[in-house]
Amino acid sequence: MVEAVWRIEAARLVAGLARTVRDFGLAEELAQDALVQALEAWPRSGVPDNPGAWLMAVAKRRAIDHFRRQERLDRKVAELGRDLETRPQPDLDAEVGDDIGDDLLRLVFTACHPVLPAEARVALTLRSLGGLTTAEIARAFLVPDATVAQRIVRAKRTLTEKRVRFEVPTAAELPERLSAVLEVIYLIFNEGYTATAGSDWMRPALCEDALRLGRVVAELVPKEPEVHGLVALMEIQASRTAARTGPAGEPVLLLEQNRARWDQLLIRRGLASIERAAALEGTAGPYLLQALIAACHARARTAEETDWERIAALYGVLAQLAPSPVVELNRAVAVGMAAGPAAGLEVVDALRDEPALRSYHLLPSVRGDLLLKLGRRDEAGAEFARAAALTGNERERDLLLARAERARAGPGG
């Protein structure tokens, strides 16, 4: 129960504390202290009615102790003390701030400050705001866990040493931070859309946080087409949420989903964001291109009506604009659907020695699917089994093991 509460409240708790103490690293330490006290107290007393407010009150008391020990910031101690005395049973929204979304956004922009290297900005924000573990972030970037851990530690130290202010930057400062902010928001969404590890296929709260932040950023910089492209992409992907799991929470793959369960309001919002982006000057960027791909799926009433040739072409443009092994793997899927599994397998096989994909479970998963369509069932089964061994998500592992068993059993299996 404590872990579940922490996943929900951690980002808002850190954001509210960072606004109060003006120190990113200290805010996270205070939040962790509050969590430790919850782990000690709640098993005895039970989870409070408003666990987020309880955590915030404890963290603020810890902040007072910290400032007293340091014999500094007397004014802030007094402010925090008065605040606690006047509100002994605080409301979470009031404790964290009048607008939680603004605090979360401030946290994103603070962690994405240009004093940090780009990869450190993203890692720190995903850890603090997205609630992702170091291992989950490492898998997202296809790098070792230790690399991500070092980035996060150095980033916190740098923000403290440079005394970076906890605020949304001015209009003039926005452009230099925007790309990192968009990357963070989309990675948070992706972790919610398909959880890297654990027993849940999705973490919808992360998707909702990412969507909310994306919409706020779109209003902050309304003339940036990539922001609207990202919002469109998330809206359309989020529209499939209800159809992505079966009765027992098992994953349902895209081509097998009941499209009547797709959220048409989110699809319309996504298509409207695409139109908004297209009306602005400039060429389509990576997020808008991915949104256009998602729109191809959204417009198809059935899986059979999907315009795979257009999707393959869009992936070809994306691969030129933002080349990466993952984009190329996605292009292989589209090519396999548009031109046949042999053509798709040719693209996949060119990626088999790619270092970044060595432990990426979707490479053998895609290869297994293409081999199965070619009738090479034993090879397909081996690839699905390999993919199952690489994924950290229990639901996905079960799905892949079942596919491996069916492939080996033959057409009637």
pLDDT at 259: 97
Question: For 91-95, 140-144, 362-366, which range has the lowest pLDDT when averaged over its residues?
Answer: 91-95
**Residue 87 and residue 226 share a domain:** no
Alpha-carbon Rg for the chain, nearest whole angstrom, is 23
Q: How far apart are CA 55 and CA 15, in angstroms?
A: 13
**Residue 154 and residue 18 share a domain:** yes
For range 205-219, the mean pLDDT: 86
Confidence at 7, pLDDT banded by 50, 70, 90: low
Residues 6+ apart with CB under 8 A from 127: 133, 134, 137, 152
**Residue 206 and residue 159 share a domain:** no
The answer as to whether 387 is a domain residue is yes
Residue 7 or 231, more confident:
231
92-121 pLDDT, tens digit per residue, is 444 433 343 467 777 778 788 888 887 888
121-130 pLDDT, tens digit per residue, is 878 877 876 6
Confidence at 138, pLDDT banded by 50, 70, 90: confident
274-313 pLDDT, tens digit per residue, is 999 999 987 889 999 999 999 999 999 999 999 999 999 9
Of 4-13, 78-87, 181-190, give the range with the top mean pLDDT: 181-190
**Residue 119 and residue 36 share a domain:** yes
pLDDT above 70 coverage of the chain, percent:
89
Q: How far apart are CA 290 and CA 284, in angstroms?
A: 10
- How many domains are there within the chain? 3
Kindly list the distances between the CA atom of residue 22 and the CA atoms of 16, 59, 112, 357, in Å, as whole numbers in the listed order.
10, 14, 15, 39
The answer as to whether 192 is a domain residue is no
pLDDT at 399: 96
Which one of 145, 169, 193 terminates a domain? 169
**Residue 281 and residue 165 share a domain:** no
Q: Which of 169, 184, 124 is nearest to 151 (CA)?
A: 124
The answer as to whether 330 is a domain residue is no
At residue 188's C-alpha, the angle toward residues 353 and 107, to 5°, is 130
**Residue 68 and residue 126 share a domain:** yes
pLDDT above 90 coverage of the chain, percent:
44
Confidence at 8, pLDDT banded by 50, 70, 90: low
Domain that holds residue 77: 1-169
On whether the CB atoms of residues 271 and 295 are closer than 8 A, the answer is: yes
Residue 83 or 268, more confident:
268
pTM above threshold 0.85: no
